[in-house]
């Protein structure tokens, strides 16, 4: 059971993340320029 949640939660989150970002972009909360500027921080924090 622990193994199952250990894989399903992170992979489920990774799958839904682009959908979340697209929704935030449609609402105007994030922009392509803002995401581009934050890319190095996002890539640094993504393994956590």
Q: How many domains does the chain have?
A: 1
Report whether pLDDT(48) > 90. Answer: no
Q: What domain range is 48 assigned to?
A: 17-48
Give the whole-number percent of the chain exceeding pLDDT 90: 42
Over residues 7-35, the mean pLDDT reads 91
The number of beta carbons lying within 10 Å of the beta carbon of residue 30 is: 16
- Asked whether residue 9 is assigned to any structural domain, the reply reads no
- Asked whether residue 7 is assigned to any structural domain, the reply reads no
Report whether pLDDT(14) > 90. Answer: no
Over residues 22-48, the mean pLDDT reads 89
User: Quick check: pTM over 0.85?
Assistant: no
Nearest to 46 by CA among 2, 8, 10, 7: 10
- Asked whether residue 6 is assigned to any structural domain, the reply reads no
Query: How is residue 32 annotated by DSSP?
Result: H
């Amino acid at each position: 059971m622990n193994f199952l949640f250990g894989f399903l939660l992170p992979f489920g989150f990774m799958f839904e993340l682009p959908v979340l970002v697209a929704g935030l972009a449609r609402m105007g909360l994030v922009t392509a320029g803002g995401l581009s500027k934050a890319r190095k921080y996002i890539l640094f924090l993504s393994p956590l």
